[in-house]
Amino acid sequence: MTQHQNHHGGRLERGGRLDRDQPIGFTIDGTALTGYAGDTLASALVANGRLRVGDSIYLRRPRGVLSAGVEEPNAFVRVNGEHNESMLPATTLELRDGLDVTLLDGIGVLDDRPDRNEYDKMHVHADVAVIGSGPAGLAAAKEAASGGARVVLFEQDFELGGSLLSDPTITVADQGALDYVASVRAELEAAPEVTVLTRTCVFGSYDNNFLVALEKRDDVASAEGGVSRQRLWHVTAGQVVLAVGAFERPIVFSDNDVPGVMLASAVKTYVERWAALPGRDVVLFTTNDSAYETARCLTKAGATVTVIDARPEVKAATSAQEGARRAGLTVRTASAVVGIEGSEGVTGAFVASIDDAGQLAGDAELIACDLVAVSGGWTPNVSLHSQRQGQLAWDDVLSGFVPSAGVKNQFVVGAGNGTYDTDDCLIEGARAGRGAAAAAGFPASSSADGGDAVAESAEVWRARQHRAAGTVRPLWAVPAPDGSLDTHFVDPHRDNTAADVLRATGAGMRSVEHVKRYTSISTGIDQGKIGGVNTIGLLTQLLSGNDTKAIPSGQPGQDAADAVELTASGQPARRPTPGTIGTTTFRAPFTPVAFTALAGRGRGALFDAARTSPAHSWHVEHGARFEDVGQWKRPWFYPQEGEDMDAAVARECRAAREGVAFMDATTLGKIEIRGADAPEFLNRMYTNPFLKLPVGKGRYGVMCTVSGMVFDDGVTLRLADDRFFMTTTTGGAAKVLDWLEEWSQTEWPELDVTLSSVTEQWSTVAVVGPRSREVIAKLAPDLDVSKEGFGFMEFRETTLASGIDARVCRITFSGELAYEINVPRWYGLKVWEDVAAAGEEFDITPYGTETMHVLRAEKAFPIVGQETDGTVTPHDLGMDWVVSKTKEFIGKRSFSRAAFTEPGRKQLVSVLPLDHTLRLPEGAQLVEPDALGDYTGEGLPTAPIAMVGFVTSSYHSQALGRSFALALVKDGPTRVGQTLLASFGGKFAEVEVREPVLYDKEGARRDG
C-alpha cells in the first residue's frame, strides 16, 4: 500500500477540545507523528493531513477516514504491543503517548501470543440506566438523579457531551454547550447514588432491562495489579433511557469510497471538537439541511465550500440554502455528485443535475476539491431498542426508521428517536428522566427545569420533529454517467456495492434478510450502522415494478400497513417503501467485544472450582498424581521414586489384594433421608427391595430412569426406622438429589420423606485388603471387628481411639475385605493420618482411582457412566439379581417392552486380548473376525463393517498377570469363548470373550 500524503488542511491554530500543552507522540506504520491529549487516532491523522488509511478488504481499493465514531468502516488499525490488538477503529481509539499502530486492510489477525492484560466483570443495579450523554441523555440523567434514584450514565466516548462536543458554540439551557455538559457532569458526580461511566459502550440489551457494557479502562491500566484493562459491566436496570443518537448516512454514488469522501457530520466534528481541518476545497453533497452546519463551520475555518444539494430550489428566505448563499457560498440545487476524480485521494468531484426521478439531467462537470463531505440523511441508532424487539416504523419525512412502539420500562429519546433539534432533545430527555425516576419510585424534584411541561400528543411531537428535520430528499443510488453500479459502495467494509444488491434481486432475492446474506452487506463490523438503510432504500428502487406482495411480511421494522399498497386499478403499488421492506435484525454486540473481555478473570485457576478433600494436603505431600473427576481433584496413583504409572498401580493393586491399602472416598455423593415413608420411597426409587432393610445394615442399590436405563448406583444405610444414609456416585451426587426431589415433590408428595445433601459433611476413608481388619481393630478399639461380630454390609457407630466419633461400614468395591470410615469432614485429615499410622506396621499403601478401577473391573463391578451410557439396563450388565420381579419401581414397566427382551442387546462381558501385554483403547470397536473382508485397516473400507460391541474399560491386571477389558457386546453372554477382533487406530487385535467376573468369582475374599 502506498502512503498518500495529501495536502488536506491540518490542525487549526485554535479551538477544539485539546490540551495543546500536552503533545502526544505516536507512530503509524513506522512514521512518527504528533497529536494532542484529547485527540483520537483519527483526529490526529486528520490534523496531520492524512485521510488515507488501509486498503479495502477484498477489492484492495484505497480507503480514507469516513466517520468520526463507532460506525467507521475503513480506518482500522492494529495496536502493536506485547499482545497486538487488531481491528480497532482509529475513530474511537484514544490517542496516548507511544501508541504504535499499523493500518489494516479491513481485516486483522489474532495475535497468538498471550494477552497478559487483566479483564474483569462488575455487576451493577440501577433504578435508571441512561445510555448516551448527548443533550437528551444528559437531560435525562440530570432529572432522573434529582430524586435520589440510583442512576448509571453510560457514554462510549471518553468525554461526555455527544453531539454537543461538535456544537460547542450553541447555547444550551442558557449556557454554552460545553458549560452545560460540565455543569451536569458536576451535578451527577456529586450525587451519591449516581455512577458516570465514560469509555463504556452498552453493546447488548436483554430481557428485563439486563444490559451488558464494556468499559475500556486503558487510562487506569498503569496502576498496580488487580486493575483491569477492560471491564465488562452486567447491568440490571429498573428503567432504561436510550439516548444513543443517530448515524449520518453516506450517499451511494460512483467511487464514493475514495479517500477524501467523508461524512459531513464527521467533518464538522473534526473541525469543531479537534480543530482538525480535513480539507480546504470542499464539495459538500447533501440531501438535507443538517450538512449546512458543516458548510458554516468549514467556512469559518477558512475552507471554501461548494454545496451540491440534491433537493430542488427552496425559495423561503429562511431556508438553509438561502442562508448559505447569503454567507457567500455557491449552492447548486437539484444536483448530485456523480463521480470522483482521484483514487488515492479526492482531487475533484463530478457534479451533474438530476431530474425529479433522480436520473441524470445533463452532463457532469468537474469541480476541483480535496474533500467531498456527504450527508444522505440520518438513521436513528435503533440497535439497542431493536435488540429488545422494539418496533420500528419508517418515517418518510425524517427519511429513517424510528422507534414506534416502546419497550416496557424503556424510553427512547433524542436523535435515536428522530428528534434532531437540541432544545427538543433536552425536553424529550428531561421528560424521560422524570418518567423513569417516577416509575422507579424516586420522583424527580420539582425544581428541575424542562420536564414539567405537559407532554404533547404523539402527533404534535412528530410534527415538531418533522419541522426540525426539514426536507430530506433521499438518493438511494446516484446514477453514474456510464450507468455502472460497480463502485457504488453500500457497505464499504465488506466491499459490497449497489451492483451486488442488484445481483441479489436479479437472483430472485426479495427479503432484505436474504439480500443481506446473499451479498454479506451488514454482516461485518458495520452491522447495519451505515449500510443498512441505504441497502433498504436501494431495494425500493430495484424492486420497483415488482409485485410488493413478493416481499415477505413480518420482518423487523416492516410497516405492515404499507405492505400491500393497491393502486386505483387494483394493481400492487409500483414502488415499495423502505417501510414495506423492513430492516434486518439487530443483535448484540453493537460494537465488537474481545473474547478475553467476556472471559474476564474466569481463566486458569479461576476458570472452574477444583474441589478437594480434607486429606488433599496429605495426598500432595505423598506425591499423588491427580485425576479430574467432575470438579474433584482425586488422587489417581501415588508413584514412588522411579516408578511409572503402571508400576505404581501394580504395587497399589498388590497391596489391596495381598495386604492392606487405603483410599480417599470422600467424594462420593451422600444424602440423608428421613420420614415415615422413607423405606417406601427408596423401595420405589431403587430396582431392588429396601422395605425390609434392617437398621444397622446397608444395601447396594441401582436406580433406573423411567425408560429402564441405569441412572446411578450406591450403598444406602438404614440409620433408624425412618432414617437412611444414601451414597451416590461422585459425579451423580447433584443429579441424584434432584431426581429424588423431583419424585418426592411432584409425583408422591403424600409420602413423608425429606432429603438433605450431606456430601460435604462427611469424609470417608476406605481401608481395603486381607489385613484391613487388623488396622480397623487398632483404630476402633471398641469395635468387635470379628467376622461374626461385624458382617458384610453392616455398619457401626463407634468412637475411634482418637476420641472422634465415626461411622464404620463393611462395604467393598474391590471384592476384598474392606471397611469405610466416615467422620465429619473437619476430622477427615486427622483420621486419614491415623489410618496411615495404624497401618504402618502392615505396610499400608495409599491407592488412587486407577487402582480402584482395576480392582473393581477384575470383579466386573460397573461404573455408571463408564460401563453405562444411558442405553444400558441392569440386565445388560448381568445384574438381573438387583431387579425385583415383585415390586413396583421406576423403570420397571419398560422392562416388559419387546426391545428389552429381544436378542441383539449389547451386554457386559470381559474380553481378553490374546496378546497379554496389549491394553485395548477404551472405545475400541469389536467386530466379527470374518467381517473385515479384504479390508486391511488402510483408509476407509469399501462397505460399512458391522460393529458388535465396544470396549468400556481396559487395564492391566496385577492379579491376573495380563491385560483385560470390559466390553458391551451384542448378546455378549452367548458369545463367551468366541474370538472377536478389536479395531482401533487402523489396527486389529484378536480378543477372547469371557464372562465378566475374572477374579474371585466365588466372592470368597469378601470376608477376609
Partner 1 sequence: MAEQMTVKPAATGTTDAAVLGYRRSPAHHLAELMAAASGEQVRLREVPFLTQITIRATAPEAVEAVGNALGVTMPSAVGEVAQGEFGEGGSGSSGSSGSSGSSVSVVWLSPDEWLAVLGDEADTGVSIAAVVESLSVALGERRGQVVDVSSNRTTLELSGSKARAVLDKTIELDLHPREFPVGRAVSTQMESVAVILWRSADDTWLLMPRASFAEHVVGWLADGMREFS
- C-alpha Rg value of the chain to the nearest Å: 38
Q: Which of 286, 381, 419, 613 binds partner 1 (CB under 8 A)?
A: 613
Nearer to partner 1, 375 or 612 (CB): 612
C-alpha 617/C-alpha 361 separation (Å) is: 87
Q: Which of 503, 575, 674, 887 binds partner 1 (CB under 8 A)?
A: 674
**Is there a contact between 701 and 882 (Cβ–Cβ < 8 Å)?**
yes
Could you give the C-alpha distances from 342 to 73, 346, 351, 484, in angstroms and in order? Answer: 20, 5, 14, 17
Q: Which of 608, 628, 840, 880 binds partner 1 (CB under 8 A)?
A: 608
Q: What are phi and psi of 406, to 5 degrees?
A: -80, 165
Site string for partner 1, 680-709 (x = CB under 8 A): ---------------xx-------------
Q: Which of 601, 787, 916, 1001 binds partner 1 (CB under 8 A)?
A: 601
**Is there a contact between 46 and 28 (Cβ–Cβ < 8 Å)?**
no
Could you give the C-alpha distances from 205 to 242, 340, 408, 587, in angstroms and in order? Answer: 11, 40, 13, 9
Kindly state the smallest distance separating residue 158's Cβ from partner 1, in Å: 21
Q: Tell me how far the alpha carbon of residue 474 is from its chain's centroid.
A: 38
Nearer to partner 1, 183 or 802 (CB): 802
Q: Based on the shown chain and the rule CB under 8 A, indicate whether residue 617 belongs to the binding site for partner 1.
A: yes
In sequence order, what E strands does 694-746 have?
698-704, 710-720, 723-728
Q: Based on the shown chain and the rule CB under 8 A, indicate whether residue 735 belongs to the binding site for partner 1.
A: no
Kindly state the smallest distance separating residue 617's Cβ from partner 1, in Å: 6
Which of 723, 712, 725 is closest to 686 using CA atoms? 712
Kindly state the smallest distance separating residue 268's Cβ from partner 1, in Å: 40
End-to-end alpha carbon distance in the chain: 83
Nearer to partner 1, 85 or 120 (CB): 120
Ranges within 762-791 binding partner 1 (CB under 8 A): 762-763
Which of 161, 151, 70, 148 is closest to 414 using CA atoms? 161
Q: Which stretch binds partner 1 (CB under 8 A): 423-431, 825-833, 884-892, 916-924?
A: 825-833
Nearer to partner 1, 822 or 925 (CB): 822
Q: Which stretch binds partner 1 (CB under 8 A): 7-15, 120-128, 298-306, 679-687?
A: 120-128
C-alpha 705/C-alpha 868 separation (Å) is: 12
Nearer to partner 1, 389 or 631 (CB): 631
C-alpha 39/C-alpha 270 separation (Å) is: 10
In sequence order, what E strands does 781-855 have?
795-799, 805-809, 818-824, 845-846
Cα-Cα-Cα-Cα dihedral of 89, 93, 95, 96, to 10°? Answer: -120
Q: Which of 113, 125, 467, 787 binds partner 1 (CB under 8 A)?
A: 125
Nearer to partner 1, 231 or 773 (CB): 231
Cell triple for 107: 481485516
Ranges within 361-420 binding partner 1 (CB under 8 A): none
Q: Which stretch binds partner 1 (CB under 8 A): 64-72, 220-228, 569-577, 872-880?
A: 220-228
Kindly state the smallest distance separating residue 693's Cβ from partner 1, in Å: 12
Nearer to partner 1, 602 or 973 (CB): 602
Q: Based on the shown chain and the rule CB under 8 A, indicate whether residue 754 belongs to the binding site for partner 1.
A: yes
* Contacts within 8 Å (CB) and 24+ apart, 186-191: 187/142, 187/145, 188/141, 188/142, 188/145, 188/151, 188/153, 191/145, 191/151
Kindly state the smallest distance separating residue 797's Cβ from partner 1, in Å: 4
Q: Which of 547, 722, 928, 995 binds partner 1 (CB under 8 A)?
A: 722
Q: Which of 34, 195, 236, 353 binds partner 1 (CB under 8 A)?
A: 236
Strands 281-286 and 723-728: unpaired
C-alpha 618/C-alpha 633 separation (Å) is: 13
C-alpha 208/C-alpha 442 separation (Å) is: 19
C-alpha 142/C-alpha 130 separation (Å) is: 10
Kindly state the smallest distance separating residue 824's Cβ from partner 1, in Å: 4
DSSP 694: P
Kindly state the smallest distance separating residue 805's Cβ from partner 1, in Å: 7
Ranges within 271-310 binding partner 1 (CB under 8 A): none
Q: Based on the shown chain and the rule CB under 8 A, indicate whether residue 752 belongs to the binding site for partner 1.
A: yes
Q: What are phi and psi of 105, to 5 degrees?
A: -100, 60
Q: Based on the shown chain and the rule CB under 8 A, indicate whether residue 676 belongs to the binding site for partner 1.
A: yes
Q: Which of 438, 758, 945, 989 binds partner 1 (CB under 8 A)?
A: 758
Q: Which of 828, 839, 846, 878 binds partner 1 (CB under 8 A)?
A: 828
C-alpha 382/C-alpha 402 separation (Å) is: 8
Q: Which of 58, 206, 748, 826 binds partner 1 (CB under 8 A)?
A: 826
Nearer to partner 1, 486 or 760 (CB): 760
Ranges within 76-115 binding partner 1 (CB under 8 A): none
Kindly state the smallest distance separating residue 630's Cβ from partner 1, in Å: 11
Q: Tell me how far the alpha carbon of residue 54 is from its chain's centroid.
A: 30
Q: Based on the shown chain and the rule CB under 8 A, indicate whether residue 721 belongs to the binding site for partner 1.
A: yes
DSSP 172: E
Nearer to partner 1, 605 or 691 (CB): 605
* Omega before 589 within 30 of 0, i.e. cis: yes
Buried b (16+ CB within 10 A) or exposed e, 866-891: ebbeeebbbbbbbbeebbeeeeebbb
Nearer to partner 1, 123 or 315 (CB): 123
Q: Which of 825, 962, 970, 994 binds partner 1 (CB under 8 A)?
A: 825
**Is there a contact between 253 and 337 (Cβ–Cβ < 8 Å)?**
yes
Nearer to partner 1, 399 or 667 (CB): 667
Kindly state the smallest distance separating residue 197's Cβ from partner 1, in Å: 14
Coil, strand or helix: which one is 528?
Answer: coil
Kindly state the smallest distance separating residue 490's Cβ from partner 1, in Å: 41
Helix, strand, coil shares of the chain, percent, nearest 5, are 25, 30, 45
Kindly state the smallest distance separating residue 812's Cβ from partner 1, in Å: 21
Kindly state the smallest distance separating residue 115's Cβ from partner 1, in Å: 17
User: Binding-site residue total for partner 1 (CB under 8 A)?
Assistant: 61
Could you give the C-alpha distances from 95 to 12, 40, 42, 510, in angstroms and in order? Answer: 18, 5, 9, 44
Nearer to partner 1, 377 or 614 (CB): 614
Nearer to partner 1, 121 or 514 (CB): 121
Q: Based on the shown chain and the rule CB under 8 A, indicate whether residue 962 belongs to the binding site for partner 1.
A: no
Interacting residues toward partner 1 by CB under 8 A: 120-125, 150, 224-227, 234, 236, 601-602, 605-606, 608-614, 617, 632, 672, 674-676, 695-696, 719-723, 752, 754-763, 796-797, 802-805, 824-830
